[in-house]
Structure 1
Amino acid sequence: MKKSNYSKSVVISVSIHALFIMLLLWGADFSFDHKQSVGNTIQATMVDPAMLNQQAQQIRQQRQAAKDAEQARQDRLEQQTAVLEKQRKAEAERIRQLKEDKLTAEKATREAEKQRQLQQQQVAEAKAKADAQAKVDAKAKADAKAKAEAQAKVDAQAKVDAQAKAAAKAKADAQAKVDAQVKAAAKVKTDAKAKADAKAKADAKVKADAKAKADAKAKADAKAKADAKAKADAKAKADAQAKQDAALNDMFSGLEAENVQRGGAKGKHIADEVARYGTIYKQMIQQNLLVDQSLKGQQCKLTLRLSANGLVLNVSQLAGNDTLCRAAKSAVLQVSEFPMPDNPDVVKQLRVINLTVSP
């Protein structure tokens, strides 16, 4: 760029010099007089020194103006370069500060999660100790009860043995009477058995006929039941597929901000913005969510707490399957920073978010 401007200045200077020489030649007299000369006469063309000085001054002024213009252009270029460099440094510092703030927030989040896990471990250890002591106390109580019951059984057995001896004697006496009665009853029983056998044969035939009819009816009922079950299974499979498709279309159906204002035009605008950013958040989380097919049908409810610039401050489990909740929390932490709108009222609604995950 500088070389081109310099060449342009040189061309302008050469053109001015050429114009100046042409003016001098134009003012010179190149005519020849064919008259006979008398003596030695020398004719000369007079050049006005004032005009030469004026033209030379004009050339110097033009050169100085070109030089001043080039210097002014270079000054402007240097000034613009300095302004751009200052802006570049300011932008680099801003980006560095944002990264530093993000790292600080992430570190605070990790420390808070570590402290929460430590507290949970301490509570679990205290509960385990209490459960172990309760088991020891229960075992001691059970042992004492077992000893008392064993002694009671010994006492009861002694009483039963005494009663058994008395009963055995009474039974022997009664048995003698029974034997006599049995002999008398045996003859009656033989006669009755013959009658009973005949009746049993007739009853058996009736039962066989009834069983054949019942088997035929049961077979028909089983076929009807199998057909109905096949239809029900096909319908259940179709319903399950439809439910799965619906769940996959909206895996994060429970994303909503707390205390959304609904009244008036301002409330509607805030609600619309919250819903729009909610959709963006769902897409960002879903990109990082990895779940197994065995978790289909399970649910997990989480609460997200964000800073004013969208950094994840905390994510906690409200209820649901622990394995699914761990996967959902991991997906949220991988996002780490969510976009925030410029409207402070919308930002306020997005600071605390309830999230329901249902694969």
Structure 2
Amino acid sequence: MQFPIALVVSIVLHSAMLLVLVSSMEFVTPKHTPQPMQAEVVNAVSVDKTALAQQIKKLEQQKMAKQQAEEQRVAELERRARAAEQKRRANEQNIEKLSKQRKQAEAEARAAKERQIKEAERAKKLKQEVEKQEAAKRRAQEQARKAAEEAKKAEAEAKRKAEALKKAEEERKRKEREALEKAEQQRLLEQQMKAEMEARNAQRQQYIMSERDKYVALIRSAIQSNLFTDPSLAGTSCKLNIKLANNGFVTQVKTLSGHPQTCQEAERAVYKTNQMPVSEDPEVTAQLRDINLTVAPEK
């Protein structure tokens, strides 16, 4: 860290003044002495103060001289910096001026070169155009000769193509008739297969629903066999929703509606039965996994 020169000089001067002041002071134990001795002490102190004032003045003058010298040095540095900046700006202006002149000269040279190139291209195109016209004239004559020959060949070729086209059209119509016949046969076959499939599906669905109804009746019968019958519950019923696993085990029983006590006994009968009869046919069993049925006490 650097301190300003003025601050350092100020610290040095004040330190010197303090040292002189301390060194000039006398610590004398008071004594009963004659009056003439006191007069000498007063004179000595007066002389020391005068010397101190002179010393301080001298130090102040030295401080001012150093400060003026420092200010002059700083002013000189600033003057040199301004001169250097002016010189740098002048150099930049000269460089910019020379750059503009160089660019202008290059642009003029490019423009002149482009004009030469355009003139050369124009002359080349004119020569090529003349050559093209002469070549076109020769080609036209040759084409006229060939056109006469080609006209004869074209007439013969047109006749041959007309005959070939007639045969091709007849062949196309024949294939089209065959394709239509095959398509109709395929359509009839698919229609027949679809009808048979629908009939088999209908029979299958009828069988599945018939089997479902049979197993629902078996399940109801199994529940009824475990249902507690109380004469007081005669005429009541309970509608249940029963969920079964694929092997017939009861996974959930839920009351949908009915007499509370009857429903309580019906749920107990379901859980007591535990495993319900199910079909070995997976499609029939799938219809039995979630069923609703009504249970009523037997009279």
Shorter-chain-normalised TM-score: which range? 0.3 to 0.5
Which gives a bigger RCO, structure 1 or 2 (Cα 8 Å, sep 6+)?
1
The structure whose Rg is larger is 2
- TM-score under structure 2 normalisation? 0.39
- TM-score under structure 1 normalisation? 0.33
